[in-house]
Amino acid sequence: MKAVLTTLQMVFLSIPIMGDEVTKSTFEDIKVRAEKGEAVDQLLLGKLYARGVGVPQDFKMAAKWFRKSAEQGNADAQYSLGAMFDQGDGLLEDDKNAIKWYRKAAKQGNAKAQNNLAIMYNIGRGLEKDTKQSAKFFRKAAEQGHAYAQYNMGVMYEFGEGVPRSFREAVKWYRKAAERGFAQAQTDLGLLYAMGEGVPQDFKEAYKWFRIAAERGNAQSQFSLGVMYANGQGVLKNELTAYAWWNIASASGHAAAKRYKSIITERFSNNEICKAQALSREMLKNNPKLLK
């Protein structure tokens, strides 16, 4: 089965990055309050150190301030400290401590912690693999609108991991993540429409979702668009455009796209190959995001 996505432990900063003088002033103001024991300012100070805003990036200092805030019960700081133990940033990588702080934050309803705890249950990292617990925590995060968790919930339903297998439920969760702009969910939703799993088969709807994800650089959707153009499914048949999408996807390392491009090339004249290659270049010029 496809794996749940696991590269989700990034610590994000909610403060906009401004000019040097402003960020230094902001940093000093936050530091004064943090040193007085204000948990929210301790969290913000940790984020400033983690991002290097107003101060040189320093993960050890980030971890120090996250811990101070986390020990006061701040859920975001608990998540952030767990993430640093998870990744080994500023602290020795320590799955047990990552789980400890994720669990504390998850108990308070932190969706990012719930998602990451679900991942650890799913892959059996730092604790015994338990897909039911994984699904439980993915659901908690997904119901709060966490796009990664919504996608992972769709994966669990598509393959019956920790929940009864249900393509209809998979479509539901993929759609939620897709509507939030998550490219892999858009791709998988397109695949279910193309196969008629959980929804009536609808090539036009499949094309729609593949196109959205392909424009954002998703190689799997680019490959799928090529298939649809080659077969005239949901769109007028056009083998030159099929080649162009496979050419772009193969440049991102998609093995099947490379094979399909090679096969269709055998039917093309030299002039047609030149036209298809030129189309690829034009598409990429118009949207550099096609190639990651």
Q: Where do the structural domains in the chain lie, given as residue ranges?
A: 206-292
Question: If you average pLDDT over every residue of the chain, what do you get?
Answer: 93
The answer on pLDDT for 21 being more than 60 is no
Q: How many CB atoms lie within 10 A of CB 266?
A: 6
Nearby residues of 282 by Cβ (< 8 Å), 6 or more positions away: none
**How many CB atoms sit inside 10 A of residue 243's CB?**
27
- Asked whether residue 122 carries a pLDDT value surpassing 50, the answer given is yes
Say how far apart CA 64 and CA 59 lie, in whole Å.
9
Q: Which amino acid is at 87?
A: Q
pLDDT higher than 70, residue 196: yes
Q: How many CA atoms lie within 13 A of 247 on its CB side?
A: 20
Q: What is the pLDDT of residue 27?
A: 85
Residue 229 sits at φ, ψ, to 5 deg, of -70, -35
Q: What is the pLDDT of residues 221-253, one digit of tens each?
A: 999 999 999 999 999 999 999 999 999 999 999
Cα–Cα distances in Å, from 3 out to 114, 122, 132, 153, 184?
18, 9, 15, 11, 12
Displacement of CA 206 from its chain's centroid (Å):
20
User: pLDDT higher for 156 or 54?
Assistant: 156
> To which residue do tokens 């036209």 refer?
275
Q: What is the mean pLDDT of residues 148-167?
A: 98
pLDDT score of 9: 41
Q: Above 70 in pLDDT, residue 17?
A: no
From first CA to last CA, the distance across the chain in angstroms is 25
